[in-house]
Structure 1
Amino acid sequence: MLDAILWFFQNIGLAFYNFGYAITHPQLWLNWSDKEALMRFVYYGGSVEFFYVVLTAFLVLTAFGIWKNQFMWGCVRVLEGFANAVGRFFAWAGLLMVIQQIIIVFIQRIFARPDIVLGFGIPLELDISWWSEELKFYNALVVALCCTYTFVQGGHVRVDLIYSAVKFRTKKVIDMVGCLIFMMPMAVLTWMYGWYFLWRHLIVPKPSASDTLERLLLKSRAVRWNVETIGFSPNGFNGYFLFKILLVAFAAMVFIHAIAFFYRSYLEWKEGPESENKYLDKDSLGEGEEAYEGTH
């Protein structure tokens, strides 16, 4: 037990050194023309070192925010603003999905064409099945990148057994505990799975979560790009590696918003009911439509 505690605080201390070394030596992990730098990036993206850098940053920001509450409110506004901006932008993918589906139906049923051609000069000509399967990507954009936006807007379904019956500050304690034991661990586990799942479909030899840095550096001698371009059908959508990128982006955004929601819950717990939804940027359907807000 003592060794585990010592190891934890040792990693917290090393996080400052690791972060400083990384930002002062970017060529060691961002210069992807160097195969060893690419493998360092792959390793550190899912490493214990990276986890403790993120954890230490969270602890430092939290400690400073507890001392200066206005700083913590600033963090909440920035992080929620990020979730809103990303979600509002990528929500338009839902409209694109509908329009493209209508075009596909017209092309297939009315014009009886097996493909869709776009552009002038050198046109983009793809089979109708490619465009049909691409609709999944639009749906993935909405699910992965609008998740935290929906959370900010209060659009997620809540299974409420005791939450509504408890006092205001008890609710905020429940929210804080939920962030720490559900949202953050889930995001970390999804990231750890998604990170190596992504890179196994981008490069060969395929990296593994169990590989040490030394082993990955040895593999770098033979590393080459091998981006997945195989579809479910011969002429179908061939950009499925993009779904792996979205999985990693989803995990990162959930973790970031878990921090924002933890901070908001703490500040509302401390300041009382009058601070509920303070600085919250919620969409509005217009005057007279208040009863429907938060359900769209």
Structure 2
Amino acid sequence: MVDGIVWFFTNIALAFYNFFYALTHPGLWLDWSNPEAVMRFIYYGGSVEFFFVVFTAFLILTVVGLWRNSIMWGAVRVLEAFGNTVGRVAAWAGLIMVLQQIVIVFVQRIFTTAEIGLGFGVPFTKDISWWSEELKFYNAIVVCLCVSYTFIQGGHVRVDLIYSAVSYRAKRVIDMFGALLFMMPAAVLTWMYGWYFLWRHLVVPKPSASEELDRLLMKARAFRWNVETIGFSPNGFNGYFLFKILLVLFTALVFLQAIAFFYRSYLEWKEGPDSEDKYLDRDTLEPGEDPAYAHANH
């Protein structure tokens, strides 16, 4: 028990050193012309050191925000604006997906062509099955990158057992515990698995979450890029490593949104019902647009 407490606070203290050391020595982990830098980047991205840097930053921001609520509100506004911006941009992938599906149907059924080519000086031609399978990627973009945006807009499904029957402040307490005990741990665990899952399909020798930094640096001697380009079918979409990148981005967005939701819930709990939805940037509908969407968001 005592050893665990010492380990915990030691890592918090070391977080300051690790953070500033990384900032002052970017070549050690950002110079990707050096295989050892790539291996350091891989190791620290899923390491205890990185976790405690993020955790310590969260603690400091929380303490400062408790002292000055305006700073905490500022963090909420920045994080929610970031989630909204990423989501609003990524949502256009849905339109691209629909338009591409229409083109596929036209080319396949009317022109009976087996390939679709695009070119702006450099031709890019792929089999129709490649373009058809690529639609999954657009769908994944919407799911992964619009997660925070949908949460902020109130579009996620809530399974309500007791929430609607409790008081305003009790709801805020439930929201705080939900962010801390469910959203953040789930995001951290998914990141840990997703990070190495990504890199195992980008480089060889394949890195492992159980390996220490010294072991990965030894592997750097045989390092080479080996980006996954195998599709589910012979002529199908072969960029499946992009899905793994989206998984990592998804977990980062969920974690950042958990921080924003925790801060918002605390501030609304402290300031009372008058602060509910304060600074909340939700989309509004113009006259004639689908009212069902407005009801879902409000």
TM range (shorter): over 0.9
Counterpart check, 1:132 vs 2:116: no
Going from structure 1 to structure 2, the CA distance change for 1:19 and 1:185 (only over 3 Å counts) comes to same
Output the amino acid matched with 2:284: S
Cα distance per residue 1:241-275 (max 9 Å; x no partner)? 00000000000000000000000000000000000
- Give the match for residue 213 of structure 1: 213
In the alignment of these two chains, the number of paired residues is: 296
Matched letter for residue 272 of structure 2: G
Supply the distance in 1 between the matched residues of 2:48 and 2:40 (Cα, whole angstroms): 13
- Aligned residue number for residue 190 of structure 2: 190
User: Is structure 2 residue 297 aligned with structure 1 residue 293?
Assistant: no
Amino acid at match of 1:186: A
**Alpha-carbon distance in 2 for matches of 1:271, 1:25:** 43
1:117 partnered with 2:124: no
Alignment of 1:154-233 (within 5 A): 154-233=154-233
Counterparts of 1:5 and 1:120, CA distance in 2: 60
Aligned mates of 2:209, 2:295 — CA distance in 1: 40
SS in 2 for 1:243: helix
The residue number in structure 2 matching 1:80 is 80
The range that moved more, 149-158 or 231-240, is 231-240
Q: How does 1:1-40 map to 2 (within 5 A)?
A: 1-40=1-40
Per-residue deviation at 1:118?
1.4
Q: Which residues of structure 1 form unaligned runs of 5+? A: none
Q: Structure 1 stretch 239-248 or stretch 282-291: which is displaced more? A: 282-291
Structure 2 distance, partners of 1:112, 1:156, is 41
Partner Cα distance (2:118, 2:34) in 1:
37
Preserved CA contact (<8 Å) 1:230 1:240: yes
- Structure 1: how far apart are the matches of 2:39 and 2:68? 40
The alpha carbon displacement at 1:121 in A equals 4.8
Q: Quote how far apart the aligned CAs of 1:292 are.
A: 3.9
Indicate if the aligned counterparts of 1:153 and 1:294 stay in contact, CA closer than 8 A: no
CA distance in 2, matches of 1:120, 1:59: 50
TM-score between the two structures when normalised by the length of structure 1: 0.98
Q: Distance in 2 between matches of 1:180 and 1:77?
A: 19
2:167 maps to amino acid: K
Distance between the aligned counterparts of 2:296 and 2:127, measured in 1? 38
Distance 1:148 1:121, change over 3 A: closer
Q: Tell me if structure 2 keeps the 8 A contact 1:191–1:252.
A: yes
Report the secondary structure of 1:126's partner residue: strand
How many Å apart are 1:287 and its aligned residue? 5.2
Aligned AA (1:95) = L
SS at match of 1:117: strand
Could you say which residue in structure 2 is the equivalent of 1:146? 146
What per-residue deviation string (whole Å, max 9, x for no partner) do you get for residues 11-42 of structure 1?
11110111011101011110111111110000
The DSSP-based 3-state class of the residue aligned with 2:296 is coil
Counterparts of 1:135 and 1:294, CA distance in 2: 29
User: Any stretches of 5+ residues in structure 2 without a counterpart?
Assistant: none
SS across alignment from 1:293? helix
In the aligned structure 2, how far is the partner of 1:274 from the partner of 1:54?
32
Cα separation, 2, equivalents of 1:294 and 1:209:
45
State the one-letter code of the partner of 1:133: E
SS in 2 for 1:160: coil
Per-residue deviation, residues 163-201 of structure 1 (Å, max 9, x unmatched) = 011010110000000001100000001100000000000
Deviation at 1:124, TM superposition (A): 1.4
**Cα distance in structure 1, aligned partners of 2:203 and 2:151:** 35
Instruction: Point out the more displaced range, 281-290 or 61-70.
Output: 281-290
Q: Deviation at 1:294?
A: 5.4
- What CA distance in whole angstroms lies between the structure 2 residues aligned with 1:287 and 1:276? 26
Residues 154 and 294, structure 1, Cα contact 8 Å, conserved in 2: no
Distance 2:104 2:200 in 1: 33
How far 1:123 moved relative to its partner? 1.9
Among the aligned pairs, what percent are the same residue?
Answer: 74
Alpha-carbon offset, residue 295 of structure 1: 2.2
Change (3 A) 1:181 1:286: same
Name the CA distance, whole Å, in 2 between partners of 1:256 and 1:121.
Answer: 40
RMSD: 1.2
Say which SS state the counterpart of residue 125 (structure 1) adopts: strand
- How far off its partner does 1:285 sit? 1.4
Q: Verify the 8 A CA contact 1:196 1:209 in the aligned structure 2.
A: yes
Corresponding residue for residue 107 of structure 1: 107
Counterpart-to-counterpart distance in 1, 2:30 and 2:120 = 37
